[in-house]
Amino acid sequence: MTQQRKEPVARFLEFLRFRTVSREGPSGSYQQCAEWLRAYMAEIGLSVKMFSPVENKPVVLATWFGEDPSLPGIILNSHYDVVPAMREHWHFDPFDAQVLEDGRIYGRGAQDMKSVCIQYAEAVYRLKASGFVPKRNVHLLFVPDEEIGGAEGMEQFLVHDEFKTIQPIAFAFDEGLANPSNAFTVFYGERSPWWFYVKADGPTGHGSRFIQNTATSKIVDICNKALAFRAEQETALNADPGCKHGDMKKRKLGDVTTVNITALQSGVSTDGGKTHALNVIPTTAIAGFDVRISPNLDIGVFKAMLDEWCSAEGVSWEFAQWTNPHHEHYTTKIDDSNVWWKIFKGSCEKLGVPVEAEILLHEHNESLHQDTFLKGIDVYETILRDMYMWRRPTALRALAQLHAAPRSVSALRSFSSLPSWATVDPQKLSAAHPGEGFNLVHGEWVKSATSEEIVDPMNGDVFLRMPATQSSELAPFVASMALCPKHGLHNPFKNVQRYVHYGEVSNRAGTMLRDPNVAAFFARLIQRVSPKSYAQAEVEVRVTRKFLENFSGDQVRFLARSFGVPGDHLGQASHGYRWPYGPVALITPFNFPFEIPVLQLLGALFMGNKVLLKVDSKVSIVMQEMLRMLHACGMPTTDVDFIHSTGPVMNELLLKTKPRNTLFTGSSVVAEKLAKDLNGRIKLEDAGFDWKILGPDVHNFDYVAWTCDQCSAQSIVFMHKNWVKAGMEKKLAELAARRKLDDLTVGPVLTVTTKRMLDHVDALLKIPGARLAFGGEELENHTIPKVYGAIKPTAVFVPLEEMLKPGNFELATTEIFGPFQVFTEYDDRHVKHVLDALERMNAHLTAAVVSNDAHFQQKILSHTVNGTTYTGIRARTTGAPQNHWFGPAGDPNAGGIGTPEAIKLVWSCHREIIQDIGPVSNDWTIPEAT
């Protein structure tokens, strides 16, 4: 017997019962709700995917395939999260959804916005069940975190691989807003939400006194100004007789700017805010604001007004960290030049049916009458049918086909979403459309006499032609670098405006990388040349963006902050300055073709240096495009020279240009040669043989196993016997088996061949007691060229006692930069042997002590030197963000990346200037000779 399909209202009630409060996130019902949506979409007969751009915050994407998938598709967007509900203000449990006697569907999310989720789905079901087939693909999208700004919901989806797979998109339905009038209200734009905090500082003192300019009085003054502005806006909204909150008859809510004070914090407390010392004036007060800026109010004007409100001494404001505020308005055209508007308007005129609903979106006792809910399905069914049927006229389709065969860079830009400065298209990069590289010397992009053919790491086809600069072509680079004096392009006494300018460049570049198209451009380009999963490539772009945002505004000149010390007599003082080196060089490897060169390059430029940049030619096209973007952001074109060449030619160029400092990231063998050739004027951020120790305490098993699965980021794992008994090795084998070539969670190794890696495995297996833990085989059914490596994730177990023996130790600690690691086991008696192994290692970049045992941590940390060491049960060796030092230790040449300390250490030196201006005492005489 066929099971009867659930009625829409019953389905809606089920949906409302999921407690998907956005602030509760994964601790609520996100995962269960998303699973429910996935099953619901599958039942309708749609192709459905569920994925999490941010861990535990799933997105559900369902697709109804149309007659012509090449036509731009339509998105029906809705969100499944809701705002919090305070139970004491509700007549019934807000998550025990029910239909009341008067026909109202009662529950949190009834209006905002779970109703629309179900209405979209049911309208699609009706159309599909009737035999209707859309002309184009239709995508139903259900996202989390809309109620808190969407930073980890829609924003992450827009840069996710799945969003790229459904391109192009012609039109997107958002959720709209409930409306109490007898006319449909169409929203063609959105007020720009600004969530920000205002902080005031002031003097403290006893509450019995009249203390002036206190923090709380400043906050009250600002709140009063905000409320006065709010009153002006509310008066304008209610100017027409009969208007009330949200009434759409005449003036609309979107026509005015709303201001709400949503948080107040101050007081002196010693118990976390349960009680306060009411007789003490607090030194700090904070107010939080929710402002929705109308398109009728220029955002710059509002910012100026906010700056004026906060102009008092000791007052500042900043955006809430989780927000992504707009700085300009975006609206859709609502005239007949917009074909989608024209179709939509015609469908609404055809319907002629009013729908009424009182606006209770974020209020207590939220509800929606079931007749209104069901009528909404009718409305969407009519509108969507018309929209799905439209196909552009033949002549316009022919024009669109020009997308497929651009004749030049300008043509490519004209018919795609490529950034204006881009010269390659990651989506088309192939043997049929090879990318072309250029050198940059003294502000000019130039070719070399010959080129190097770079093969596609996925199939061996030539897909890049990069300059192969020869010794005879080095003179322009030598001359260009010679133009930069030892005292740099700027320093604390010269061209100081350039510090400010680079703060502006960094700000513009960070903003540009916030554009989903630009971020996806670089993530895709990274994937093409250094194959890794989209998630990994996207993280590289995101970390770089955050670095650029960190050094916006005055942060660049703060890097050059000086200090002074009083002298021995009047008129004497010593001052310490951070001084540039002048001409410097930067050489970076293949594995992070975007993050490493950008962070190091900008650090060098911030401090006043001119940079000679070389990136591994297999991936240097990424940095070529980034330099073009930086030029578009205002970076002077002559500040960086960019060369593609072999290692020996670059070595020759370094000897000719004699850079005052060179930062090298890569092979320790090459690093040692450069250190000798450059007379020690070098900083090293070597690749490193990185280790991880699993301590005696076993907990968070799956999480620790997941971190150990990142085998390209660690070279050896010392597992305490407790972890071995818990089944860690078996779990790691299971996790490794998940990694596939088709999603690039395992892929080509650009510096080590398959034979080299498998030979290394065989050599290790000859050590007594060694065995293959997993892997040890070439990838199946691949087209990766033989010049690269292609093996399954691999681990070899080597007994600790055998590993420490002469000959075996050098073999077991040989770095293989690929999906390979060594396992070994120890117990409490053998900790000294583990420490002995760590002491004998030569590279000291990253390490991890996976334990919450404080005494164990202390033992390991006190006997090791790795420059970036992660400790605690969540310790990983893969974290290389922008917010902490990343670099080796134990070496005078050790360099770092990302932080102010790293930038100052690597790209500047200390200069002391002692000022001694007198006066000389009138009774001073020349002393006796000494």
Q: Is the pLDDT of residue 87 over 90?
A: no
* pTM value > 0.75: no
Ranges of each domain in the chain: 8-186+332-389, 192-319, 435-556+565-684, 691-894
Return the DSSP state at 929: P
Q: Do 471 and 652 meet the contact criterion of CB atoms below 8 Å apart?
A: yes
Q: Is the pLDDT of residue 916 over 70?
A: yes
Q: Do 906 and 563 meet the contact criterion of CB atoms below 8 Å apart?
A: no
User: How far from 598 is each of 300, 346, 556, 642, CA to CA, in Å?
Assistant: 31, 51, 15, 13
* CATH superfamily, region 8-186+332-389: Zn peptidases (3.40.630.10)
List the beta strands (DSSP E) in 462-512. 462-467
Give the list of residues 6+ apart from residue 189 with CB closer than 8 angstroms, or none.
254, 295, 329, 330, 331, 332
**What CATH number does the domain located at 435-556+565-684 have?**
3.40.605.10
Q: Do 470 and 449 meet the contact criterion of CB atoms below 8 Å apart?
A: yes
Q: Do 585 and 655 meet the contact criterion of CB atoms below 8 Å apart?
A: no
Q: Is the pLDDT of residue 665 over 90?
A: no
Q: How do strand 794-797 and strand 572-579 relate by DSSP bridges?
A: unpaired
> Which helix (H) or strand (E) is 518 found in, with range?
helix 516-529
- Chain segment 592-648, per-residue pLDDT in tens: 899 999 999 999 999 999 999 999 999 999 999 999 999 989 899 999 999 999 999
**Number of neighbours of residue 915 by Cβ within 10 angstroms:** 11
Higher per-residue confidence, 770 vs 347: 770
- Section 721-726 average pLDDT: 96
Band of the pLDDT at 185, cuts 50, 70, 90? low
* CATH superfamily, region 691-894: Aldehyde Dehydrogenase; Chain A, domain 2 (3.40.309.10)
Sign of torsion, CA 12 18 19 22?
negative
Architecture of domain 192-319: 2-Layer Sandwich (3.30)
Percent of the chain with pLDDT over 70: 88
- Chain segment 833-883, per-residue pLDDT in tens: 999 999 999 888 889 999 999 999 999 999 999 888 899 999 887 666 778
**How many angstroms separate the CA atoms of 544 and 541, rounded?**
5
| Mean pLDDT across the chain | 86
Half-sphere exposure of 543 (CA within 13 A, CB side): 24
Band of the pLDDT at 331, cuts 50, 70, 90? confident
**How many angstroms separate the CA atoms of 927 and 296, rounded?**
79
Nearest to 295 by CA among 241, 349, 253, 335: 253
Instruction: Give 33-38's long-range contacts (Cβ < 8 A, gap of 24+).
Output: 33/80, 34/58, 34/59, 34/60, 34/80, 34/142, 34/144, 37/80, 37/117, 37/142
Nearest to 863 by CA among 883, 833, 884: 833
Could you give the 3-state DSSP secondary structure of residue 763?
helix
Q: Do 291 and 194 meet the contact criterion of CB atoms below 8 Å apart?
A: yes
Instruction: Give 32-35's long-range contacts (Cβ < 8 A, gap of 24+).
Output: 33/80, 34/58, 34/59, 34/60, 34/80, 34/142, 34/144
Give the list of residues 6+ apart from residue 555 with CB closer than 8 angstroms, or none.
503, 506
- Section 314-335 average pLDDT: 78
User: What is the predicted pLDDT for the residue at 1?
Assistant: 40
Residues with active-site annotation: 685, 711
Q: Is the pLDDT of residue 481 over 70?
A: yes
